[in-house]
Amino acid sequence: MFSPLQPGKYTWAEKSESSSIWQRPTLAGENQWLHRLEEYHQMFLSGSITLKTPTGLPAFEAAATDAWVRLLYSIPDIAVSGRCQDDGQGYLQFHVPRDYADANEWARRTLVLKYGPSGLGFHELREKVLSCRGNQLSDRVFVLLHCVADDENGETKCVDFILNVGHQITDGIGIRILLDKYFHLLAETLGSPRSRRDAIKWQDCMKNLSRPWISLGEDYQSTLSGPF
């Protein structure tokens, strides 16, 4: 006989009353990524976008960063990390940013903007993103935006990108959903440059963490078929 399910065991909860860290036990396949080599975690998705109008690099960088921070608020799972306790129990943890400055520090680590006179292909982008990331492995998401521009004060209309995500965060379909959401926020920010940072209540962003699939069930499940 299997032990009864305990969906409530896997809900997100504060690690301690005075802590900004929320955590829950890992579930099923989530455990495998705690023990796999880093090289097996990595997924890369690259491509190019064309802006409707040329945009100065400083303005584009500000918009790209603002949209990236807003993505963190909308989908905080991108900043979730895995930990294994001394007793062997795995946990997923999320550090709730104290304020916009704290979230912006996360963006500084995980978003890089480069520029050059010509576009880059997948292999060049992959090499650059790995070089920029270096040994910074605590963050499981990283994005590099390469703007086609002559100098740092020039304008760009074509932007090559590569998104690097760990399997602990999402899968091959999820990485496309993340990218779509980010570009939607970027387009919105470029269309209305006024920052929305003051409207974000960071203490509430943990409410946007994804619920584990087991929480959709009840403590005692029934089947449509007879006993087996």
The model's pLDDT over 41-51, given as tens digits with 9 standing for 90+, comes to: 789 999 999 99
Q: Read off the tokens for 152.
A: 């740092």
List the chain domain ranges: 7-191
Of 194, 169, 191, 213, nearest to 72 by C-alpha is 169
The model's pLDDT over 13-61, given as tens digits with 9 standing for 90+, comes to: 888 765 788 988 888 777 776 776 666 678 999 999 999 999 999 999 9
Indicate the fold that domain 7-191 takes in CATH: Chloramphenicol Acetyltransferase (3.30.559)
Of 110, 80, 109, 77, nearest to 177 by C-alpha is 77
Whether the predicted pLDDT of 216 surpasses 80: no
Whether the predicted pLDDT of 4 surpasses 80: no
3-state DSSP assignment of residue 202:
helix
Name the average pLDDT for the chain: 85
Report pLDDT for 153.
82
- Asked if 155 contacts 54 with a C-beta cutoff of 8 angstroms, the reply is yes
Mean pLDDT value across residues 74-90: 85
Q: What is the pTM of this model?
A: 0.86
Of 116, 179, 177, 98, nearest to 142 by C-alpha is 179
